[in-house]
Structure 1
Amino acid sequence: MSTNLEDQPAADFYDFEAALSEEERKILLRTRTFMRDEVKPLVNENWAAGTFPAELIDKFRASGLVGLPYEGYGEQGAAAGHLLTGMMAMEMARVDASVATFFGVHNGLAMYSIQAGGSQEQRDRWLPGMARMDTIGAFALTEALGGSDVAVGMRTTAEREGDTWVLNGAKRWIGNATFADHVVVWARDVEDDSVKGFVVAKDIKGFTPEKIANKTSLRIVENADVTLTGVRVAETDRLQNIESFRDVAEILRATRSGVAWQALGVMIGAYELALDYATEREQFGRPIAGFQLVQDLLVKSLGNITASWGMLVQLARLQDDGVFKDEHSSLAKAHVTARMREVVAWAREIFGGNGIVLDYDVARFFADAEAIYSFEGTREMNTLIVGKAITGQSAFV
Structure 2
Amino acid sequence: MTTITSGLPETSSSDYYLLDELLTDEARDVRDRVRGFVDRDLLPIINDYWDRAEFPFELVPKIAQLGLVGSTISGYGCPGLSRLAAGVLTRELARGDGSVNTFFGVQTGLAMGSIALLGSEEQKQRWLPGMAALDTIGAFALTEPGHGSDAVRLETTARRDGDHWVLDGAKRWIGNASFADVVVVWARDVEDGRVKAIVVEKDADGRYPDGYSADLITGKIGKRAVWQPDITLRGVRVPVENKLDEAQSFRDATRVLTSTRGGAAWESLGHAIAAYEIALAYAADRHQFGKPIASFQLVQHKLAEMLAEITAMQLYCFRMADLQEQGRLTGPMASLAKMHHARKARQVCLDARDILGGNGLLIEHHVARHLTDMEVVHTYEGTDSIQSLIVGRDLTGISAFT
Q: Same fold (TM over 0.5)?
A: yes
Q: Does the C-alpha gap of structure 1 residues 361 and 321 become closer, same or farther in structure 2, counting only changes over 3 Å? A: same
Using the size of structure 1 for normalisation, the TM-score is 0.96
Structure 1 position 73, deviation (Å): 2.5
Q: Which AA in structure 1 matches 2:98?
A: A
Where do 5+ consecutive residues of structure 2 fail to align?
Answer: 1-9, 203-207
Structure 1 position 127, deviation (Å): 0.3
Secondary structure, counterpart of 1:228 in structure 2: strand
List per-residue Cα deviations over 1:158-213 (Å, max 9, x = no partner): 00012210000000000111111111100000111100001111422211011111
Q: How does 1:255-294 map to 2 (within 5 A)?
A: 255-294=260-299
List per-residue Cα deviations over 1:61-93 (Å, max 9, x = no partner): 2221212311113454xx211111011101000
CA contact (8 A) 1:67 1:132 kept: no
Look up the match of 1:115.
116
List per-residue Cα deviations over 1:347-380 (Å, max 9, x = no partner): 0000011111111111111111100000011111
Q: Which AA in structure 1 matches 2:63?
A: F
From 21, 24, 48, the counterpart of 1:21: 24
Look up the match of 2:97.
96
Structure 1 position 19, deviation (Å): 2.2
Q: Which AA in structure 2 matches 1:146?
A: H
Distance 2:115 2:13 in 1: 37
Structure 1 position 391, deviation (Å): 1.2
Where do 5+ consecutive residues of structure 1 fail to align?
Answer: 1-6
Q: Structure 1 runs of 4+ off > 2 angstroms?
A: 7-10, 73-76
Identity %: 48
Structure 1 position 20, deviation (Å): 1.9
Distance 2:36 2:78 in 1: 18
Structure 1 position 24, deviation (Å): 2.6
List per-residue Cα deviations over 1:13-45 (Å, max 9, x = no partner): 112222221233112200110111111111100
Look up the match of 1:158.
158
Distance 1:233 1:314 in 2: 42
Distance 1:279 1:8 in 2: 15
Q: Does the C-alpha gap of structure 1 residues 199 and 142 become closer, same or farther in structure 2, counting only changes over 3 Å? A: same
Structure 1 position 9, deviation (Å): 10
Distance 1:290 1:389 in 2: 46
Q: Does the C-alpha gap of structure 1 residues 9 and 365 become closer, same or farther in structure 2, counting only changes over 3 Å? A: farther
Distance 1:9 1:123 in 2: 46
From 361, 376, 384, the counterpart of 1:379: 384
Q: Which moved more, 1:20-29 or 1:319-328?
A: 20-29
Using the size of structure 2 for normalisation, the TM-score is 0.94
Structure 1 position 394, deviation (Å): 1.1
Look up the match of 1:183.
183
What is the count of residue pairs matched by the alignment?
A: 388
CA contact (8 A) 1:9 1:268 kept: no
Q: How does 1:203-352 map to 2 (within 5 A)?
A: 203-352=208-357
Secondary structure, counterpart of 1:174 in structure 2: coil
Secondary structure, counterpart of 2:198 in structure 1: strand
Look up the match of 2:362.
357
Distance 2:13 2:139 in 1: 34
